[in-house]
Amino acid sequence: MAGDREAFGQLVARHQAGIRALARRLARSSSDGDDIAQNAFLTAWRRRSTWRGGSFRGWVCMIAYREFLATRKGVRTENSDEDHAGAAGESGERLDLTRAMAALDESERSAVALCIGAGLSHTEAALAMDAPLGSVKSWVLRGRAKLQKALAAYQPA
C-alpha cells in the first residue's frame, strides 16, 4: 500500500499542473477548477484498481471532465472572467485566450480543452464526453476556428 501511495504521488506530481489547467479552462474559474482537479485525483486514487493501463493523464482528464459535469449544476452566477482578470501577473494574451474560450459553445469549449489543452485524442475526448467521435472532431474544428478568428486581432505589445 505504501508503494501504491508513493507511485500515485509521483503520477500526481507529474500531471497535476495539466489537470488543474484543464479543470480551470472547463470551469472558467481558478478556484472551481482547482476543486475539480483535486476531486479528480481523489476519485482516481479511490478507483486506481480500475485503471487498465494506457495514458494515466488521459484517464484522469476523463475523470476531471466528469467531475466538471457533476459540479456544473452548482455553476457560479457571477462573471467567472473576473477570476482570471484579477490574477496577479496575468498577461494580456492569457486574458484574450480566456475570453475567447468563454465565447465558445460549451461542447466546443470542452472538446478544445480536452483535445488541444489536455492533449487527449479525439477518441479519448469522445469517451470522456460520452459523445460521438464525429461530433467531438467537429467541435474541435469549429472551436479552433473560432479561437483563431477571435485571437487574430491580438497585437503583441
Q: 49: domain CATH number?
A: 1.20.140.160
Residue 44: φ, ψ to 5°: -60, -40
- Structure confidence at residue 74 (pLDDT): 56
Confidence of residue 82 (pLDDT cuts 50, 70, 90): very low
Residue corresponding to grid cell 482547482: 34
| Residue 157 covered by a domain | no
Given a cut of 70, whether residue 95 has pLDDT beyond it is no
| Residue 77 covered by a domain | yes
d(CA 147, CA 140): 10
- Structure confidence at residue 94 (pLDDT): 53
C-alpha cell at 16: 497535476
Given a cut of 60, whether residue 86 has pLDDT beyond it is no
| Residue 119 covered by a domain | yes
Give the global pTM: 0.67
SS3 156: coil
Tell me: the pLDDT tens digits for 13-68? 999 999 999 999 888 888 999 999 999 999 999 998 888 777 888 889 889 988 99
- Structure confidence at residue 139 (pLDDT): 97
Domain of 43? 2-152
| Residue 147 covered by a domain | yes
C-alpha cell at 47: 478507483
From the CB of residue 115, how many other CB atoms can be counted at a distance below 10 Å? 23
* Nearest by Cα to 99 from 85, 119, 88: 85
| Residue 88 covered by a domain | yes
Tell me: the pLDDT tens digits for 105-151? 989 999 998 998 888 899 989 988 989 999 999 999 999 999 988 88
- Structure confidence at residue 76 (pLDDT): 44
Q: What share of the chain is helix, strand, coil (3-state, %, to 5)?
A: 75, 0, 25
| Residue 121 covered by a domain | yes
- How many structural domains are present in the chain? 1
